[in-house]
Chains A and B, each alone.
Chain A
Amino acid sequence: MIGLEHYLILSVIIFCIGLLGLLRRKNLLMLFFSTEIMLNAINLAFVSVSSYLGDITGQTVAFFVIAIAASEVAIGIALILLWFKKTRTIDLDSLKYIKG
């Protein structure tokens, strides 16, 4: 039987890969992919803890996280698309109209 730790370590690594993507990627769409990865890492963690604890709450939370992730994707894509329509690029460095 695999211990809970294995799942936790896996989730943390996935979460951190998401962070790596956030830091490394310079493309807005890829940025949103990374946040998606992070949310899924947490989902995995919730489900594994729920299953090891024998408590259903974790799965309920995971369910809502999927809903949150879905709506975030919708808005994110809409915003990128809008930006693409205005500037014909989705490069992160094209966000330069606001200056201090």
Chain B
Amino acid sequence: MLHNLILIALFSPLLSSIVSALFIRSPKKLGIFSSILIGISFISSFLLFVFYENSFSYSLFDWLNVGNFKLSFGVLIDPISLVMINTVTLVALIVHVYSIFYMDEDKSINRYFSYLGLFVFAMMILVMSDNFLGLFFGWEGVGLCSWLLIGFWFENNDNTKAANEAFIINRIADLGMLMGLFYIYWNTGSLQYSEVFAQIPNLSNTTITLIAMFLFIGAMGKSAQFPLHTWLAKAMAGPTPVSALIHAATMVTAGVYLLVRSNEIFALAPSVNIVITYLGVFVALFAASMAMVSNDLKKIIAYSTLSQLGYMFVACGVGAYWVALFHLFTHAFFKSVLFLGAGNIMHACKNELNIKKMGGLYKDLKVTAIIMIIASASLSGLPFLSGFFSKDKILESAFSTGYLDIWILLLLGAMMTTFYSFRLILLVFFVPSKEKNSHTHDAPKYVLYAMGILGVLSISAGWIINSFEKFINIPFELNIEHSTHYVMILITVLAVIITLVYTICKYKQPIKEPTSKINTILKNEYYIPYLYSNIFVKLYKKIAEFLYEIIDQKILDKFYEKLAFSVFNFGIVLRKLNTSNLSIMIYFVIVGFLLLLLTNFIRILL
């Protein structure tokens, strides 16, 4: 029966995709049908979890069985994959339901559901496969679907550009991944997880480091880590539910999944782990600082995703793999609901994205606002919400492995997270709006219920932390004394709450330009602490803006553009040289011959 459940869970998204593709030109809308199929997939995944006893792998069919090259496509059911498939199918289900509402007016809604179903299928392959090749297939599959979905509204040329950038940067990273796979295969003779991990301890240190490095490059691309991160913010060009599903909850976390899955390789490559840790911290802060100054609703959330991915990588880097997976798990819920809420806001404001132009939406979008506040609180790590448990665990893990510096930086990151999350909430919902938009209204009830599920999970998913640790069963010892532990939690909570209060004070009113100098001076004199913090904040804001505008937008973005452009230009120059003149063709042949002779000649002379 378990086998049937696996097949149902795996193939019902594919069925949804195929059926939607068949009706691509019909006006009939298949959203409900697709959602039911994804729902079936979710139920099967959940049942698999309920009936789970021992991890087992189930071979679907033999792929290759030639000489010394054996591969079979199998499915591995173990705690890691169970967590992943349940998260993926649940979020996918809710995004599907949401899309029925969000994409209702789009002509090509069936095409949309077809892509979405295909994406879920590829993602399931990615997380369920019991070998690296299947993982790579899913990896490429989700990349392809992401390309299709980012460029879904291709009437706009920018969207196409964004989609291409995402695809190409991912391909560059996949190259690293592919090299890693080759290296694994030729060193261990297999791509099956079980066999590879059994062989790994016998390999030399350099080999393991190389393998880990290559795999990590692959993970960097998919999880948009610096310097391959520029595509993620641009990927927001796609429909908002897509951002919720792909660019928050599932695909971008595939990199983390890869690290968790091959933890036995990474555990033996300490130097790579250090790189992962520091890169993770850097990204966590780098992205958060950009989120603090951005005014684009979706981009803020995208940068926030980036920052949280940095946290997960830190957890992987210090060896706390189950913590990384746990943060992935909780993050999926609150981040996707944030995106869905953003979708509601955009729907209400006629696709306005600039948060500076919004405000006072609380009256009209009460339910959305409440859900988003919960999600943001959870994201900031306010006590007893799910984000609190997972993020706190990451801080503790970093602390307990002796990275005090990283702990401090991550704490700073947490404060920044609070700041930008509530800045967004306040600016969108509470600041009195400049223009009166009278016609805004909230999303239909069924959508809000669906979002409510995620909202509830954003609150409660963290409570299972202890059973989660037991279930995953990747040992990681926290050796912190109880008293230190409490002090740490206290510090974190206090820091977050102080930031929260500060943010609320700062953005209670729309920030006005100071009207008169005297007024400002008076104000500053009255609030001396405020002055300090103002200077500090301003300085910080400068740095953040520098990072955002110069490093990210100007240097890296331009770099990728210039790279592509210069290759293209080089080609044009070459094309000019390659005139179609027969005489010149003959010259090429004979000069080529002469060069060959010359090398021979020089060889003799030497």
**Could you list which residues of chain A lie within 8 angstroms of chain B, going by C-beta atoms?**
19, 22-23, 26, 92-93, 95-96, 98-100
Contacts and interface: CB of A to CB of B under 8 A. Distances in A.
A23 B593 CA distance: 13
Contacts of B579: 100
Nearest to B580: A98
B13 to A, nearest CB: 45
Contact of B583 (A19, A92, A99, A100): A92
9 contacts: A23-B587, A92-B583, A95-B580, A95-B581, A98-B580, A99-B580, A100-B575, A100-B578, A100-B579
Contacts of B581: 93, 95-96
A26 B583 contact: yes
B443 to A, nearest CB: 54
B198 interface: no
A100 B587 contact: no
Interface string B560-591: 00000000000000010011111100110010
A80 to B, nearest CB: 13
B596 to A, nearest CB: 14
A26 B583 CA distance: 8
Contacts of A19: 590
B582 A95 contact: yes
A23 B580 contact: no
Nearest to A34: B586
A19 B589 CA distance: 10
A98 B582 CA distance: 11
A26 to B, nearest CB: 7
A100 B580 contact: yes
B39 to A, nearest CB: 55
A95 B584 CA distance: 12
Closest 6 CB pairs of A and B: A98-B580, A22-B586, A95-B582, A92-B582, A100-B575, A100-B580
A39 to B, nearest CB: 16
B580 A22 contact: no
B568 to A, nearest CB: 15
B578 to A, nearest CB: 6
Nearest to B583: A92
Contacts of B578: 100
Contacts of B580: 95-96, 98-100
B586 A23 contact: yes
A22 B581 CA distance: 13
Contacts of B587: 23
A50 B586 CA distance: 31
A45 to B, nearest CB: 17
A95 B580 CA distance: 9
B500 to A, nearest CB: 63
A99 B578 CA distance: 10
Contacts of B582: 92, 95
A96 B581 CA distance: 7
A14 to B, nearest CB: 16
A99 B581 CA distance: 9
A72 B404 CA distance: 81
A26 B590 CA distance: 16
A23 B575 contact: no
Given A26-B583, A95-B581, A96-B581, 12 more contacts: A19-B590, A22-B590, A23-B587, A93-B581, A93-B583, A95-B582, A96-B580, A99-B580, A100-B575, A100-B578, A100-B579, A100-B580
A92 B590 CA distance: 17
